Amino acid sequence: MRIAILLPMVWSVRNVVHSGVLRTLAESGVEAHLIMPGGEGVAGRAAARLFDDAAGCHPLLDVARRAPRGKALLDAVLSSAFHHRYGNRSQPIYRRWFSRHDGPWLQARAAFVQLTRWLGASRRAVAWLEQTTDRLARHARDLEPVRRQLRTINPDLIWSTVNISSLEQPYRFAARDLGIPIATSILSFDNLTSRGPLPRDDYYMVWGSRMKAHLARFYPEIDEQRMFVTGTPQFDFHRRPACLWPRERTLVALALPPRSRYFLYGASHAMLTPEEPLLVSQLATQMARHPVLHRHVLVVRLHPLDDPGRWAALVRDHPGVRLSAPFDNTSAVDGWALPSADDYARLTSSLIHADGCVNIASTISLDAAIVDRPVICVDFTTEPDCPRDLLFAEYGTEHYAPLVASGGLRLARNWSELLDLMETAILDPSRDRERRARMVAVECGPVDGRAAQRVAQTLIQLARESRRARRGAGAEEVTVTIADGVDVVGAAQGGGTR
């Protein structure tokens, strides 16, 4: 069997290679072909050993042409109409945020988009908009090189690892042309509610029950048997002994003195929190004056796609602040990098030995809850003494509001509450333990360190059924039983559902 795996971004390397999915596929006799930036050229790098288990590495082809006039506007209309149809409360929150600096022309354009969403929200209208935008996207690309590459690989299945990435779109079109089924892993818990409508693939692997419910709500035409609850490999690292460094090693990795105590601050991307360094600067000042917190270091874990330069002044002005880069020897500002295994161990260990995790509506809240660390989220919407250009409204989005409601994290609405919650995290770290565990179970699905195994076994079964179907065999019911006793259930049928 052959599986082609799309690796357009740095998270693909984490979820496919470092997680062990690639190794499991290879040990099961699957020829796994990786399609990624650099392709065969990666063999000349020191990180080439990461891909020893691959049957082949192929370049991710850039086949973009000039987009047809009007496509961007039509995309905006489609996204607005789609989310209006399904009552997605996230869409207006992000719309207001990204249009906050718009001039008259963009404001008029936005008003037109909002007007047309009422006309385009019917089922037939949304379907027509999707078909039209797909057709325009096809015209904007030369798909023949991609079809030729896929014919050469001849996979039984394609695994989409970041299906919100435009770099995957040509492969999706080519796969449809060639009748190759696609299995998609939903990358993040906000992807179904913060983006426009997803491309329709054949199978979907989701984290847990809430993500599955979102998928069924926004895409009722997708058969539930084509949805597989696997968990996500990104959380497997939090259950691996090799990723649980002793405190001494963790402090060295964070450039902290022995016996240091610290809070981990999970930074967001500049696109959502332009003034976050100023907020963290204020927090460092407040901590330095606090009788309990003044000896604590504030370790700022940077977002993988952020520009570290915007944090330089913070470190210069505050000796009690340390920056922790997501990757030691590489940068992923452009979305692509080849991290090391230690990069993921450092995140897990930094969380485990922290007295708590502070952030603004970040996924790191889930990471912290998985390792049972107190989670404090900053919502200074009504706090006058703080920067204003921060997306505190994200707590009301479809993906984050359930976390707030669960009680697995605490919201700090002013400086006094934030400092009190940080002090409580030190004195009573077990408070909210049960709520954190319930939040993780609902949002993340099974977090037992075996998600990579479940993903690999699901892919193997789907590829096997696709191979049979493409040879003329009929569809049949599939139940994949993993060694830990968790069943991943769905129906496999080759040839696609498009």
Instruction: Give the containing element (helix H, strand E) for 300.
Output: strand 297-301
For 201, 209, 212, 438, the CA distances from 215, given in Å and listed in that order, are: 12, 10, 5, 21
Last residue of a domain, one of 409, 424, 444: 444
Query: Has residue 133 been placed in a domain?
Result: no
CA distance 162 to 143: 19
Angle CA(238)–CA(452)–CA(434) in degrees, nearest 5?
Answer: 40
Confidence of residue 40 (pLDDT cuts 50, 70, 90): low
Which whole number is the average pLDDT over 395-405?
97
Which whole number is the average pLDDT over 355-382?
98
For 143, 281, 292, 358, 362, the CA distances from 319, given in Å and listed in that order, are: 53, 11, 18, 19, 25
Write phi, then psi, for 167 (nearest 5 degrees).
-65, -20
Q: Which domain covers residue 109, as residue numbers?
A: 75-128
Query: Has residue 219 been placed in a domain?
Result: yes
CA distance 42 to 38: 6
Query: Has residue 390 been placed in a domain?
Result: yes
CATH code for position 432: 3.40.50.2000
Using an 8 Å Cβ cutoff, are 164 and 92 in contact?
Answer: no
Side chain identity, residue 495 = G
Q: What is the pLDDT of residue 481?
A: 41
Task: Find the helix packing angle between 209-218 and 433-444, rounded to 10°.
Answer: 40
- Per-residue pLDDT reduced to its tens digit, 47-92: 667 899 999 999 999 887 777 788 889 899 999 999 999 999 999 9
Using an 8 Å Cβ cutoff, are 454 and 20 in contact?
Answer: no
20 and 169, same domain (yes or no): yes
211 and 93, same domain (yes or no): no
Q: What is the pLDDT of residue 69?
A: 83
Q: What is the pLDDT of residue 470?
A: 77
CA distance 209 to 187: 15
Q: What is the pLDDT of residue 45?
A: 58
Q: What is the pLDDT of residue 42?
A: 64
> How many domains does the chain fold into?
3
480 and 374, same domain (yes or no): no
Q: Which residues of 53-67 are buried (b: 16+ CB within 10 A; e: fewer)?
A: bbbbbbebbebeeee
Confidence of residue 347 (pLDDT cuts 50, 70, 90): very high
Q: SS3 of 379, please?
A: coil
Residues in Cβ contact with 490 at an 8 Å cutoff, skipping those fewer than 6 apart: 203, 225, 226, 227, 228, 458, 462, 478, 480
Residue written as tokens 């993340």?
Answer: 444
Positive/negative CA dihedral, 149, 152, 156, 161: negative
Query: Has residue 337 been placed in a domain?
Result: yes
326 and 263, same domain (yes or no): yes
Which whole number is the average pLDDT over 371-382?
98
Q: What is the pLDDT of residue 372?
A: 98
Sheet holding 56-59, edge to edge: 56-59, 31-36, 2-6, 157-160, 182-185, 203-206, 227-229
Angle CA(181)–CA(184)–CA(185) in degrees, nearest 5?
Answer: 155
459 and 387, same domain (yes or no): no
Query: Has residue 70 been placed in a domain?
Result: no
287 and 372, same domain (yes or no): yes
400 and 309, same domain (yes or no): yes
151 and 262, same domain (yes or no): no
CA distance 30 to 387: 52
Instruction: Show the tokens assigned to 142.
Output: 């030369």
CA distance 287 to 423: 10
370 and 434, same domain (yes or no): yes
pLDDT exceeds 50 at position 493: no
Helices and strands of the chain, counted as H and E runs: 19, 15
CA distance 193 to 359: 21
Side chain identity, residue 45 = R
Query: Has residue 498 been placed in a domain?
Result: no
Query: Has residue 20 been placed in a domain?
Result: yes
Confidence of residue 41 (pLDDT cuts 50, 70, 90): low
CA distance 245 to 119: 56
350 and 386, same domain (yes or no): yes
Quote the radius of gyration of the chain (alpha carbons, Å).
Answer: 23
E-assigned strands of 51-147? 56-59
17 and 160, same domain (yes or no): yes
Instruction: Show the tokens assigned to 284.
Output: 């460092």
Taking all residues of the chain, what is their mean pLDDT, rounded to a whole number?
91
355 and 485, same domain (yes or no): no
Instruction: Show the tokens assigned to 172.
Output: 């999706």
Task: Find the helix packing angle between 71-85 and 123-139, rounded to 10°.
Answer: 150
- Candidates 351, 355, 388; CA nearest to 370 is 351
Query: Has residue 253 been placed in a domain?
Result: yes
Q: What is the pLDDT of residue 487?
A: 46
